[in-house]
Amino acid sequence: VEDREAIGGSAFGGQRAVCCTADLAKLGVCPEGEMIHRPSTKNPGWPKVFGISFSEDDEVTTLPLKSIQITKTGMYNLYFIHCDLNLKDLIIEGKTVWKNPTGYLSGRMEPLMNFYGFMSLVFVILGIFWFMQYARFWREFLPLQNFITLVITLGMLEMALWYFDYAEFNGSGTRPIGITMWAVTFDTIKHTIARIIILMVSMGYGVVRPTLGGLTSKVTMLGATFFLASEILELVENVGAVSDLSGKARLFLVLPVAILDAFFILWIFTSLSSTLNKLQTKRMVAKLDIYRKFTNALAVVVIVSVGWICYENAWIIPAFWQILSFSLLCVICVLWAPSQNSTRYAYSGEANEDFDKDDTNLTLIKPSPTPSKDFRTVPETRTAQGSNGASSNGDLEEDKTE
């Protein structure tokens, strides 16, 4: 990349040209119709230039196999340049093979293989912790915790598939399409379910309300649309070549995912605000405390996401989002970890759900099974009032009403 300035030139500071124009030829800078290049002052022997020409009236010519030894780490470009106007319909067919000391993965992709291997191990550790808690307190399990279990399982499969995808790519030089498609699919499913779970938690599912009611179909529709848009985008980016897409085509794929993501965020925080108000009104202190911690964690994730600045190392970009989503999953696992007190956070009927202010000892106040004395004395009092001249029919009507 440092030698790009050694290719091409301009006359009197005009427009830069790769091929020698008539104006440049008149100045004696270069022969007209040939490529302009000069030796690099920083890297002796670079840029490497290999010429090829057509003999007589031949329509096909072949470039002999060339092998270039790379001794310096950096970014390298390969250009196919023709300056002969008679070659305006030139078609180039063939392939280039690039290999690093560690394998066929590019310098930007190679760290991702190690990263996904590490994340696979981390997900296994989280899975062991979660499933041990699951086995210990399976009687106290909540429906919401089943969804969390599903996300952890999908995460383990996704990270393992991404690791094997990059490992196979690194070893063979050819991307395994089958493994890549499965990795992309599990990745999309996990992210879709994770967003739906966060939305359900924000709505108070299993804590404030037993079901989503009429919102179930809307949540399902939003999740299905997000999955479809994300799956198409990820398949094009990972299975196809990103550079093959024009700016408009890429925008057409990225824009729906961005809009749906923004809609998820808006709906999540709106639902969280409603749920927090509801818990505060009903004085459900234990549930309110856990929801406040969840809200703070979500707010931190959103702030970090907005403030994220892309580093020079491009591999950090996908790694960053994986770490961020895993951190949020860990927070959810801690807040809703299976325990002997799991059911204290479960929905138990809003009609009678009125908790004391004590966070450690939640007492459910229920109406007394036997009528109180005050209720028994009401008819007697009204009978006495009737003996003082009140209308007996009026008393009878009042008793019926009572």
Instruction: Answer for the pair 37, 49: CB distance below 8 angstroms, yes or no.
Output: yes
Integer distance in angstroms from the first to the last C-alpha of the chain?
91
The reply to whether 143 and 225 lie within a common domain is yes
The reply to whether 80 and 121 lie within a common domain is no
Which residue would you say has higher pLDDT here, 250 or 400?
Answer: 250
The reply to whether 166 and 72 lie within a common domain is no
> Cα separation of 298 and 278, whole Å?
19
What is the number of domains present in the chain? 2
Q: What is the pTM (predicted TM-score) of this model?
A: 0.67
Position 379, amino acid: P
The reply to whether 313 and 182 lie within a common domain is yes
How many residues appear in the chain?
A: 402
In a domain, 250, yes or no: yes
- Taking only the tens place, the pLDDT of each residue in 194-220 is 888 888 888 877 666 666 777 788 888
Can you give the pLDDT at residue 13? 62
The reply to whether 53 and 119 lie within a common domain is no
The reply to whether 151 and 242 lie within a common domain is yes
- Taking only the tens place, the pLDDT of each residue in 3-33 is 887 887 776 666 677 888 777 777 777 777 7
- Taking only the tens place, the pLDDT of each residue in 95-140 is 888 888 888 988 778 888 999 999 999 999 998 988 888 777 766 6
The reply to whether 72 and 202 lie within a common domain is no
The reply to whether 205 and 339 lie within a common domain is yes
In a domain, 41, yes or no: yes
Q: Give the Cα-Cα-Cα angle 303, 305, 309 (nearest 5 degrees).
A: 110
- How many CB atoms sit inside 10 A of residue 122's CB? 16
Q: Mean pLDDT lowest for which of 65-69, 207-211, 297-301? A: 207-211
Residues with Cβ within 8 Å of residue 79, at least 6 apart in sequence: 7
Q: Mean pLDDT lowest for which of 232-236, 309-313, 354-358? A: 354-358
The packing angle between helices 247-281 and 285-306, to 10°, is 160
Mean pLDDT of all residues belonging to the chain:
75
Q: Give the Cα-Cα-Cα angle 329, 194, 128 (nearest 5 degrees).
A: 45
The reply to whether 65 and 131 lie within a common domain is no
The reply to whether 121 and 81 lie within a common domain is no
Q: Give the Cα-Cα-Cα angle 399, 400, 402 (nearest 5 degrees).
A: 65
In a domain, 304, yes or no: yes
pLDDT band at residue 241, thresholds of 50, 70 and 90? low
> Cα separation of 206 and 142, whole Å?
7
pLDDT band at residue 84, thresholds of 50, 70 and 90? confident
The reply to whether 77 and 194 lie within a common domain is no
Residue 249 sits in a domain of what CATH number? 1.20.1070
- Taking only the tens place, the pLDDT of each residue in 166-199 is 999 999 888 888 899 999 999 999 999 988 888 8
Alpha helices in 2-106 (DSSP H): 22-26
Count Cβ neighbours within 10 Å for each residue of 218-243 and write b for 16 or more, e otherwise: ebeebbebbbebbbebbbbebeeeee
Closest CA to 339 of 133, 119, 50: 133
Range(s) of the domain holding residue 65: 15-96
Residues with Cβ within 8 Å of residue 44, at least 6 apart in sequence: none
Can you give the pLDDT at residue 33? 75
> Cα separation of 201 and 301, whole Å?
16
Check whether 314 has a pLDDT greater than 60.
no
- Taking only the tens place, the pLDDT of each residue in 316-364 is 577 888 888 888 888 888 877 776 665 555 555 543 444 333 333 333 3
Residues with Cβ within 8 Å of residue 30, at least 6 apart in sequence: 9, 20, 24, 36
Residues with Cβ within 8 Å of residue 147, at least 6 apart in sequence: 193, 197, 200
In a domain, 162, yes or no: yes
In a domain, 219, yes or no: yes
In a domain, 355, yes or no: no
> Cα separation of 163 and 169, whole Å?
10
In a domain, 309, yes or no: yes
The reply to whether 299 and 220 lie within a common domain is yes
Residues with Cβ within 8 Å of residue 230, at least 6 apart in sequence: 188, 191, 192, 257
In a domain, 193, yes or no: yes
